[in-house]
Amino acid sequence: MQTTPVPESPEHIEKRQITRHQLGAYLQVFNQCTGRPIGYLGNVSHQGLMLISPLPLMVDELFELQLRLPSSLHPYQRLDFQAQSHWCREDVTPGHFDTGFSLVGNQPAFAELTDALTRYFSFMHTEDA
């Protein structure tokens, strides 16, 4: 019978190809119109995202949002998109709120970003390499 290593066991850590990162610590989300930050990307899919913010956001509203992605040619590459908010609730971290959005505009570019993030944050087992 084959066993799976316990997540933080030495065997598991040896097989890790990348360091684990919290997604929210890297991708800040901005208001497209004002350029001001409104939160961080908590999770993402082809259909939508969860935003973590210091303030609760309005529900059932259309937001014009922007991600500023690292770029080798420029300080950053802008990804502008529209998203509809559906729910907002207090995060497990005091003073933070989670808001769920579905994408309304620029789905192809957002899908590319989702695929790239999935590849970057996925683990590759040594025996699969």
User: For domain 21-122, which CATH number applies: 3.40.640.10, 3.90.105.10, 3.40.50.970, 2.40.10.220?
Assistant: 2.40.10.220
pLDDT (tens digit, 9 = 90+) per residue, 92-108?
989 999 999 999 977 77
Using 70 as the pLDDT threshold, list the residues of the chain that sit under it: 1-25, 71-72, 121-129
Q: Is 127 exposed, middle or buried (0-12, 13-18, 19+ CB in 10 A)?
A: exposed
- CA–CA separation, 29 and 27 (whole Å): 6
Which pLDDT belongs to residue 9?
47
Q: Are 48 and 102 in contact (CB under 8 A)?
A: yes
Q: Are 25 and 40 in contact (CB under 8 A)?
A: yes
Which pLDDT belongs to residue 6?
43
Task: Give the DSSP letter of residue 67.
Answer: E
Task: Give the DSSP letter of residue 5.
Answer: P
pTM: 0.70
Which pLDDT belongs to residue 21?
39
Which tokens belong to 52? Answer: 């973590």
